[in-house]
Amino acid sequence: SDDDVRAVAASILIPIADYFVQLAPNKIPEIVTVLWDCLKDLKDDLTASTASADASDQRLYPFFRHTITSVRVAVLNTLLTFLGMDEVEEWVDHRTFSLVFQNIIVEEKRDVLYISLKVWSRLLSHVSKPVEKNKLFNFTSQHIGSWFSIVMTPLGTPIERRLFYIPDGPIPMETTPITVTSPSNNSRRRNSNRNNNGGDIAVTSGGYSIDTGMLQQDFALVSVDTILRGRVIASKGLGMLMSCWPSESLESTFKEYIINCLSSSWALSKQLAAVITEEWSRSVMEKEPQNNQSSLIQNLPLASILSNAMISILESNPPRECQAMLNTFVSVGKVNSDIIPPLPTYVLGEKIQTDNSTSLFGIEIAAEFSTDVFNNLLSHVSVKNRRSSNDDTQSQLQDRQRRVVSSIGYYEASKQKNDTIVFAAIAGAVVALRVLPSKLNPVIRSIMNSIKSEENFELQKRSASTLASLVELCSYEDNTIR
C-alpha cells in the first residue's frame, strides 16, 4: 500500500540522517514537511517510522499511549531532543507535564517507564530556571491534587479517569471501562495482540486499550509489582517536583497532601508519601550537597514537620510489645492484673478518633470471637445436637472456627508484609531527611527487615540504598549519633 511504501522510505532516512544534513541541506525543509504531514495519518507502520525521524509537541500528544512500544519510545526520545534545544519554553505547557506523568502511571514497559521519568526530570529542569520562575507553578499547580489522587489510589481499585488529561487525536487513551470476562481469555487476547517486534498491540475506540489493565487495576492483566513500580516512580517524580518548588509556597502546597497520606489507614498511602519525602530530600541534597545532617531541617520547615511525623510512626511499635510483656506477667508470672499499669491508648502523631464510643472491628475482636465467644456459644449447643449425625454439627462449627482463625493468620501475614514495606519507606525518608531518632533501632530494624524479607526486588534495592546512606550519614564527623 501507499502507507507501506512511505513507511519504508521514512525508515531509510534514519541511518543516513546525519549525512543527509551535511550533503543536502537544501532538501531538509521539503523532507521535514513530508514527514510532518505523515504524522496526521496516524497509521501504525507509517507512524512508527516517521515518529522516529521527526515530530512536534502537539502532534506527538496522541502518540503518548500508542499501541506500539517503539512509537511510545520515539515520542519520549523526541521530547528529550526538543528539551536539549534552546527556546523550548514555547511548547512546554501543562499538557506536556500531565501526559508525561500519566505515562509513568500507566506504562508497563520498564524501559519506557524510566525514559518517561527522564523526560519528567528534564521538564522540571527547564521550567525551574530563574528566568522561568512562575512557569513551574503555572504548569503544574492545577494538577497536583489530581496527581496525588492518582498515585494514592489503592491497588486493585480502578483509577478515576476524569483525573487524566486526554489529548485530541484518533489514538487517545481508552476512557470507558472494559469488561473482563476471564483471565484465560484475557491471556489469549494479550498474546494475540503482540506485533512481530515485541511491542504492545491493542485496539482503540471500541476495542482494547493498552492501558486497560493499569487503569482498571486488573490483576488478571497486570501484576501487582508492575503497578507498584509505576506508583513508586511516579512518587519519585512528585518528590523531584517538590525539590524544584519555590520554598515560600512549598509547605502550603504539599504539607496537607503528605500529612494526610501518612495518617491514612492505607499502607500504600503511607509508603508512597514516605517515598515522595525521601526523593524530595535526595533531590534537594543533590542540588545543594552539604555534610551537615540538619541542614535540610534548618532551611525548610516542612522537612522538620515531616520528619517528626515519620519518626512517630517508626516508634509506634513498642507499645504493642510492652502490652505483650505485661500480659506475660499475668499469664506466666501469675501477677495480679489489678497491679499492672495501663498503657496510653494513643501514640504521639497518631490520628485520634473523635468518637471514642464507637466500637471498631479489629483483629483483637476477631480473635476474641474465634476463642471466647466461640466456646461460650458452643456450650449452649445441646449434647444431643453435638453427638448427632456423626458429630456433623460440631465439625461444621469447628470448621467455621478454623476459617476465622485462618483469616486472622492471613491478615497478620499481610499486615506484616505491609508493615515491612511501610516502615522501610519511612525509614528511607527519615535517613534522607538526615534527622534520626535518639535510638537507631527502629530505623535499622525497618531497613534490615526489608532487605531480608522484601519480595519486590526494586523495593529491596531501595532499602539497600537507604542502608548505605545511613552508614554514610553516621560517618560524618558532625553527626549527632556517636
* Interval 310-341: pLDDT, tens: 877 776 554 444 555 556 545 644 446 775 65
Q: How would residue 305 be classed by pLDDT, with cut points 50, 70 and 90?
A: confident
| SS3 label, residue 334 | coil
**pLDDT tens figures, 404-446:** 778 778 777 777 888 889 899 999 998 888 888 878 888 999 9
CA gap 102, 119 in Å, rounded: 12
* 339 vs 172: which has the higher pLDDT: 339
Q: Mean pLDDT over residues 87-103, rounded? A: 83
Q: Mean pLDDT over residues 354-381, rounded? A: 64
What pLDDT does residue 154 have? 92
Running DSSP on this structure, what letter comes out for residue 369?
A: I
Half-sphere exposure of 130 (CA within 13 A, CB side): 0
What pLDDT does residue 182 have? 36
C-alpha cell belonging to residue 156 = 486493585
Q: Which backbone phi and psi does 203 adopt, to 5 degrees?
A: -90, 135
172 within 8 A of 204, measured Cβ to Cβ: yes
Cell 506477667, residue located: 329
CA gap 382, 175 in Å, rounded: 59
| CB within 8 Å of 109: residues ≥ 6 apart | 69, 72, 200
CA gap 6, 224 in Å, rounded: 41
C-alpha cell belonging to residue 357 = 464510643
CA gap 43, 232 in Å, rounded: 33
What pLDDT does residue 12 have? 76
* 262 vs 57: which has the higher pLDDT: 262
CA gap 22, 34 in Å, rounded: 19
Q: How would residue 191 be classed by pLDDT, with cut points 50, 70 and 90?
A: very low
Closest CA to 431 of 465, 384, 392, 482: 465
Look at residue 461 and tell me whether its pLDDT is greater than 60: yes
Q: For residue 263, give the amino acid letter.
A: S
What pLDDT does residue 113 have? 95
What pLDDT does residue 20 have? 78
Q: How would residue 71 be classed by pLDDT, with cut points 50, 70 and 90?
A: confident
Answer whether 0.85 is exceeded by the pTM: no
